[in-house]
Structures are given as structure tokens and as C-alpha cells.
Amino acid sequence: MVETERRFTLHARSRKIARIIGYPAGLGLLAAAVFFPFGDTQDRWVVGTICALFGLITLLFTWSVDRRRRIEVTEWQVTVVNSFSRYVVAWHELSDIEFEEIQNQGGGTAYHRLAFVTPGRRIVAEAPAGSERALMKVRDRILHARELSPKEQQSDVGIAVAGAAAVADRFGARLSKFPRLKGGLVFTVLVLSVAVTFVFGIGSVIILGLDLILGDWLVAHVPFWDELIGFFDSVSG
């Protein structure tokens, strides 16, 4: 959406870093699970499985930071989107925005998160996160957007309509504790599809083509070449 004083989205501060590092790292681990020489057959399956598992975890975490964790502000409400949950709070329901302290292993303060307080619950947003001073500016921006919200919402009719919408949103949030099939999930599926296509499609063509041209030299100089060719022969066969 077009950002204004009353409509904007706040993402995790590490979102760009996650995009630059997370996706390549996850895809690299998946590629290593197939291509890297792990020695004997038992080591290949054990270490390959570990690499594949960590690759999927890395991609899932990166997708969470990139496509899920955020705060959406509109004229009528604020929406907190966490990794596996989504909460919608109408402006008239919001009592205050507090700071949630996250401690490190030594008992000190690692960073803070925003906590949205309503009469019935306290919602902690996973992103953005940072120092209390940095989040104070974020908090002030959100509260300023609430002050600019249409005053008609405070009328009896407006409150009744907003209350009904909030009930529906709460019901929808309960159904959305698992990620919805939205753009972010589709994007992740496309990334994984490209990775699988490259590894088992284009990758196998390149490997078999090199074997056809430089097979004898590669067998003599690359210790695991026979195993690699045998794997791709079984896949393509």
C-alpha cells in the first residue's frame, strides 16, 4: 500500500540482511546436500540429510523475517503479523503500547519489542525490534496515526461496527495461526521449485555433459566423480 501518516507498514530491521544472506545460504545448503562429496554412502545420507534440514530451516526463518513479521497501520486499525499468527486491533480497543524486554543469557537486556495492550490481551510484535530509544520513535509514529484516524469511529454506530469487525478479525486471526497461502508462501514455493529444478534438472545436464566431454580426465582427477555420475544417472534414468 502507499504509505502516508495514517497508512504504513513496519518490517523487521534485519529484513534486507535476511534476503541477502538467508536465501542464498538456505539454497546453498540444499545444493550441498546433493553435490558435496561426503565419503561413503552412509556419510552421504547422514550429512546430506543434515544439510538439507538446516537448509529448509534457514529458508523458513528467512521467509518469516522477509514476508511475515511486520506491523500494518491503517486509518481504522493496527495489525500485528508474527511468524505464525496475525492479530487485528481496532484503534478504540488499543489501550497503550508498551515495551517488552527480551533478556539475554546473562540476565541483561538483549533488545525490546512492542507490546500492544487491549482490555482483553497483550500482543507482543516480533518485529520491529531494537533498543527502547529506537522503538520509542516507532511507538510515537503509531500513536500519531491513531490520533489522525477518522473521528466518526468514536460514535456509537462507529464503535458498534468496529467492534463487530474486531470480533470477526479475532476469529480470523485464530484461524490464521498457521501461515496462509499468500504471496509470501507462493514466493517461497517458487524459490524451492527453482532450486529443485536447478539441482535435478539443469545441474544434471551440466554434470552429464561434462562427463561426456571430459569424463576420463575428471575420473582421474576428481575422487568422487564416479559416485556423482552414478547418482545423476539414477536420477535421470
For the chain, the helix, strand and coil percentages under 3-state DSSP, each to the nearest 5: 60, 20, 20
**Tens-digit pLDDT profile for residues 12-29:** 888 888 889 999 998 888
Provide the residue range defining the domain that includes 37.
8-66+183-236
Write down the pTM of the prediction.
0.60
Decide which of 175, 191, 226 is a domain's last residue.
175
Res 80 pLDDT > 50: yes
pLDDT value of residue 209:
72
Neighbours of 162 (CB within 10 A): 20
pLDDT value of residue 72:
95
Instruction: Confirm whether 1 is domain-assigned.
Output: no
Instruction: Confirm whether 2 is domain-assigned.
Output: no
47 and 77 housed in the same domain: no
Please tell me the distance from the alpha carbon of residue 81 to that of residue 62, in angstroms, as a whole number.
15
**Tens-digit pLDDT profile for residues 83-111:** 999 999 999 999 999 999 998 888 888 99
**Tens-digit pLDDT profile for residues 117-141:** 999 999 999 989 999 999 999 999 9
90 and 120 housed in the same domain: yes
Res 74 pLDDT > 70: yes
- Over residues 168-175, the mean pLDDT reads 49
DSSP string, 141-191: HHHHHHHTS-GGGGSHHHHHHHHHHHHHHHHHHHHTSSPPSSHHHHHHHHH
pLDDT value of residue 236:
56
pLDDT value of residue 199:
57
75 and 152 housed in the same domain: yes
Least trusted range by pLDDT, from 8-22, 53-67, 173-187: 173-187
CATH classification of the domain holding 115: 2.30.29
Instruction: Confirm whether 214 is domain-assigned.
Output: yes
Element holding 213 (H helix, E strand): helix 203-221
Please tell me the distance from the alpha carbon of residue 233 to that of residue 237, in angstroms, as a whole number.
6
Instruction: Confirm whether 3 is domain-assigned.
Output: no
Element holding 233 (H helix, E strand): helix 225-236
